[in-house]
Amino acid sequence: MGNNTLGRIDARIFYRKTGRAKYISHLDLARCMQRAVKRTGLPVWYTVGFNPRLYLGFALPLPLGQESVFETVDLCLMEDIPFEEVLCRINQALPAGIEGFAIAAPVHKPEAIAWAEYGLRLEADSCTGEALREKFERFWGQDRVEVEKKTKKGSRRIDLKSGIRLLGLEPESGCLCLRIQTEAGTSRNINPTLLTDAFIQAEGLESPCVQVLRQAILMEDGTPFC
């Protein structure tokens, strides 16, 4: 069971968001989760005040169009219910493409998140996987890879090489598969498509297709967020 604070039991649900569900925006995902939890009839905690609302806490919002096999959402229970039952009831209320695979008491706060790990699959017309690999190695071999990053405070230039770790690079038939880690969290967050967009533009690739799968959310020491 989670820690009981002022009568509340904290729970962290780990879930996947795949398939057509990748087209659900984060705002709509929050609404989807709220409706699903309400349908379960679970005794969950609502915020107090003039307009009480169901408390849900998402650690690291996933950009629209990206899939993930490691997402988290926090909620608070007002009664001591077995976590396995909580997960089962919520899964029964969730739409296709969103599925909880584990539940536990939260250990770390979202502020502890430092990295996210991704698998990227890149295709381009008239370009083999081996050709893409050679192009990417040349592109990534530069001393700096600068891009324009848009934030709420405006745009600024950043060097992707200071915030991205390349873990793997494998050509396949007609595509290139990359495994990377990017800085993530409250202080600095790098969308992996900044890398693929910069590569596509630099090499002038025709009709590119990029698939993004978030595989893990990590802390500074590389251990999974839990």
Please name every residue paired with 76 in a beta bridge, in sequence order, or none if there are none.
10
What are 169's two structure tokens?
């690079």
Sole residue written with tokens 């690291």: 60
pLDDT at 45: 96
pLDDT at 4: 54
pTM for this entry: 0.93
CB burial of residue 215 (10 Å; 0-12, 13-18, 19+):
middle
- Domains of the chain in sequence order: 4-107 (3.30.70.580), 112-219 (3.30.2350.10)
pLDDT at 152: 75
Tens-digit pLDDT profile for the chain (226 aa)? Answer: 455 556 799 999 999 999 999 999 999 999 999 999 999 999 999 988 888 899 999 999 999 999 999 999 999 999 999 999 999 999 999 999 999 999 999 999 999 999 999 999 999 998 999 999 999 999 999 999 999 988 777 888 999 999 999 999 999 988 999 999 999 998 889 999 999 999 999 999 999 999 999 999 999 999 999 9
Helix ranges restricted to H, 106-217: 129-140, 193-203
Please name every residue paired with 34 in a beta bridge, in sequence order, or none if there are none.
none
Task: Give me the phi and psi of 209, to 5 degrees please.
Answer: -135, 125
pLDDT at 188: 86
Q: From CA 120, how far away is CA 179, in angstroms rounded?
A: 6
